[in-house]
Amino acid sequence: MNSYMRLLKYLRPYLPRLGTAIFCIVLASAANLYVPWIIKDVIDRVLAEKDMMMLNLIAGGIVVVFLLRGIFFYGQSYLMAYVGQRIVIDIREDIYRHLQRLSLSFYSRNSTGNIMSHVTNDVAAVQGALADTLIELITESVILIGSIGAMFFLHWKLALFTFITVPLVGQTINVFGKKLRASGNVMQVKVADITSVLQEAISSIRVIKSFAREEFEIERFQKENFSNFRAQMKNAQLMATLTPLIEFLAAIGVTLIIWYGGWEVIHGDLTAGALIAFLIYAVNLSNPVKRISKSYGVVQRALAAAQRVFEVIDTQPDVQDAPGAVVLQKSQGHLVFEGVDFSYNPGEPALRQVFFEAHPGQMIAIVGPSGAGKTTIAALIPRFYDPQQGTIYLDGVDIRTVTQKSLREQMAIVPQETVLFNRSVYENIRYGRLEATQAEVIAAAKAANAHDFITAMPQGYETPIGERGCMLSGGQRQRIAIARAILRDPRLLILDEATSALDVESEQLVQDALDKLMVGRTSVVIAHRLSTIVRADCILVMDQGRIVEMGSHEALLQAGGLYQKLYQVQFRDTGTESSGV
């Protein structure tokens, strides 16, 4: 009921159109109620009394009624499609807007395919219930109510006698409705699982082919597909049981009508035409009941989908702006970590009592073995996550007291795995600052050593680069990302192993671009290759979530601690001395 009421709230902006659509549905449906009455008059007056005038009136009435029915049918179809599509657009925009505002932890807990299923499959299920199913429900309800009214008007005793089976029908629909809703929820989950497997397989197709795992992935998809089939068949089984059960109960009612109505005609209390019309109206009851029961199942499935959608919309971001959060003005880049503790999962600390300070314009490098907490530090600075203990300051201001938007506008991040969009080179660079001019975009590309290879491409800056930049090499993608960061002109720069996946030639070009980018900015550099951070003002050496050493390259080498061990392991086979790196 909660999901149903929330769906109704989306109808409010479109109530005038919805009201007009319902008016059209009622009148179009009412035309169907005219037919049994025509048959009654044909039998009792035209055939029995040889009334030619009545025959002419009936013929003209049929033409007029069904002409109007066609007009009203067009109105109901168009207006309901409009309302249904608008509501779906609104729901889809709400869920997408909310997804953009959720914290990274939500995306860590949920697969991409499952999230996509909420926006596509679940919303599509809601759309079917709001448009086509709603038309059918109203249409059949009008026919049902109109038929009952006509039956009571024709012979109220016979009508009461007919409705002995109504409580049985209502209880049957109620019992099956609960089962159909549960079945509908399972169906939506299984569809989401298929979407998740499909998205993962498509995005990882290179890995699949490199390991020759096509058959494995096919079997995996078949398993999810068959699981979805079983859920669909369970739902079909319920529907297949409900419909004939309702029809059987309706048949009992029709049998009672024939027996008692025939008895009334024999005794002269009911005309033959009235009995035929009554019987048609009674038969008309079975079709609306059957269709309403079928539509009820679709509505239950849609409500299950709506519940899944609203669960996402109701999910609160783990990281939120504090009440009264202020806009951070132009930053100087003075960064301080003071006693920061952080855990992704309770009881599994990723950072423990981290203290360090980066003065404006300094380069702070962070090194350490895998899992030491380097990337976690990089994720806390833009508030992708909030620490459980301790405080992070930027220019002396607790970053939790400023808006996330203004905080992130002060910085740029160049990750190890560059994420580019399926757009042109120009649009990808301009993403760093949407109001930038063409000249500024080109200047940023030149500073990132990207201008030459961009102009050599078929369409220059307007060349599409494919999904995630698949048309470019690793070094080219990284330079596009650096150009994007340069265009942003940040005060604080975060480099998360930005050159570790590149070949030597590409690394030199990218490193040169990074050197230009870091000039005059506070830089936090997470390094895998120690050769890239020997000029750092301060190097933080991390192990198991703690800073175990801190100092310059030369001082750390002389200290003979973890940094020296990492350095010796990395350069053992190169014969390179520390002073020459």
Whether residue 262 is predicted with pLDDT greater than 90 in this model: the reply is no
Q: Which of 295, 314, 333 represents a domain boundary (last residue)?
A: 314
Q: How many domains does the chain have?
A: 2
Sheet holding 348-358, edge to edge: 348-358, 335-345, 389-394, 397-398
**Helical packing angle, 272-314 and 134-154, nearest 10°:** 150
Are the C-beta atoms of residues 485 and 413 closer than 8 Å to each other? yes
303, 422: one domain: no
In a domain, 496, yes or no: no
In a domain, 321, yes or no: no
Mean pLDDT across 531-559: 88
In a domain, 435, yes or no: yes
In a domain, 39, yes or no: yes
Whether residue 547 is predicted with pLDDT greater than 90 in this model: the reply is yes
CATH number for 27: 1.20.1560.10
Q: What are phi and psi of 113, to 5 degrees?
A: -65, -40
CATH number for 444: 3.40.50.300
The confidence band for 540, taking pLDDT boundaries of 50, 70 and 90, is very high
Whether residue 10 is predicted with pLDDT greater than 60 in this model: the reply is yes
Report the chain's terminal Cα–Cα distance, integer Å. Answer: 69
In a domain, 572, yes or no: no
Are the C-beta atoms of residues 533 and 525 closer than 8 Å to each other? yes
**Residue of 256 and 369 predicted with greater confidence:** 369
In Å, what is the CA distance from 209 to each residue of 212, 213, 223, 358, 471?
Answer: 5, 6, 20, 45, 18
Q: Which of 436, 461, 489 represents a domain boundary (last residue)?
A: 489
State if pTM tops 0.75: no
Percent of the chain residues past pLDDT 70, beyond the cut: 86
State the pLDDT at residue 469.
77
Whether residue 227 is predicted with pLDDT greater than 90 in this model: the reply is no
In a domain, 82, yes or no: yes
| Chain segment 333-344, per-residue pLDDT in tens | 899 999 999 998
In a domain, 581, yes or no: no
103, 242: one domain: yes
Mean pLDDT across 74-90: 84
What is the enclosing helix (H) or strand (E) of 525? strand 522-526
Residue keyed to tokens 């520390």: 578
Mean pLDDT across 151-165: 74
**Residue of 130 and 14 predicted with greater confidence:** 14
Q: Which domain holds residue 443?
A: 416-489
DSSP 8-class letter at 331: -
438, 308: one domain: no
In a domain, 131, yes or no: yes
Q: Which of 489, 515, 543 represents a domain boundary (last residue)?
A: 489
State the pLDDT at residue 501.
54
Residue keyed to tokens 């038309």: 135
